[in-house]
Amino acid sequence: MTERQGAYYTGNYRNLFAECGYEPQEVDNRLAEAWEALFGENEETRIYYPMGETQGYLLDTGNLDVRSEGMSYGMMMAVQYGRKDIFDRIWNWTYSFMFMKEGVNKGYFAWSCKPDGTRLSNGPAPDGEEYFALALLFASHRWGDGEAPYDYGKQARDLLRTCIHQGEDGTGYPMWNPDNKLIKFVPEVEFSDPSYHLPHFYELFALWAYPEDRSFWEEAASASRDYIQLASHPETGLTPEYAYYDGTPNDTRGYGHFFSDAYRVAANIGLDWEWFRKDERQRSLANRIQSFFADKRPEDYRRYRINGEPFEEKALHPVGLLASNAAASLAADGPHAEDNARLLWETSVRTGDRRYYDNCLYLFAMLALSGRYRIWFPSEE
């Protein structure tokens, strides 16, 4: 047993910023500032843009497209901040332009569109789907359901059903391998992305998906916790962007190393520990990751082999890496946990063309370390 149960059981969320000595009003102000930076009108920091009277989108400012990743992130941010107005605008845009109603990917969301809604791809990316599903469930629980497409709970359960049953009629592919219960990089391939693994999400899907699907999600949570350990280097804790089902790096197109996608693993284990505390191995993993970066400064972050060997190539998203390492402090019990939380506090949101991914991870880390990244339960619970 751990020294205390996770927030799912207790309702108590750890505020690391308070533990570092920052005052409650200071923390509230920083959270408000972070929201305003991303969703306000400052052209140097914003990533959210309203469209017409009822829609809005998050722009990948480095690639000038709208991604299911970012849209699902925006919905999760909005439900955590209690901004139903922004949530509905993002969801309306997503459902109008990204949702695929026919073809092999029917029921999924196109991963990339132009800001005007024109699709750049008819393929989905599973990290978007899993965030869409939980954000919709939280919205259903926090605000209640409306008429389609604002019947959030049904939309989430239908999406989760599609994710694991697509292809059973011979058309398309599921997003999770039905045998090992591991999420795929994209539906048509048989390898994974360690940063896609969100066992804390699957624990909640096991409660709120359609009854016939709940056992699958329970198994998926356990399988993903094991997989994250397999994919993590035993000394550095680093994971590759792509990995085979046995956890070994898949260097297809150079993605077998620690780079942008992989940053999210640290934040994921931090939040899983905070919510559920089911896997003691996460503490050691968080400690290893933070120890690896303890003698490195953000301005010199690199692409790394998972054994820690650096490339000359600098990190594309140093603020995102810093933020995710800070979020790992929720699980870490080593000597660097508080230092990482303070480093995040002392860091501002990123400006410039590459700010989108960094600032998404930044805001999630600010929510997590302030105890504001919360599970929203059905009202009857």
Instruction: Give the catalytic positions in this structure.
Output: 69, 261
For residues 306, 323, 270, 17, the Cα torsion angle rounded to the nearest 10 degrees is 150
Closest CA to 293 of 238, 364, 361: 238
Closest CA to 32 of 370, 375, 264: 370
Closest CA to 129 of 172, 92, 98, 85: 98
For residues 86, 270, 370, 260, the Cα torsion angle rounded to the nearest 10 degrees is -50
283-292 residues labelled b (16+ CB within 10 A) or e (exposed): bbbbbbbbbb
Do 270 and 225 contact (CB within 8 A), yes or no?
no
314-342 residues labelled b (16+ CB within 10 A) or e (exposed): ebbbbbbbbbbbbbbbbbbebebbebbbb
Do 268 and 130 contact (CB within 8 A), yes or no?
no
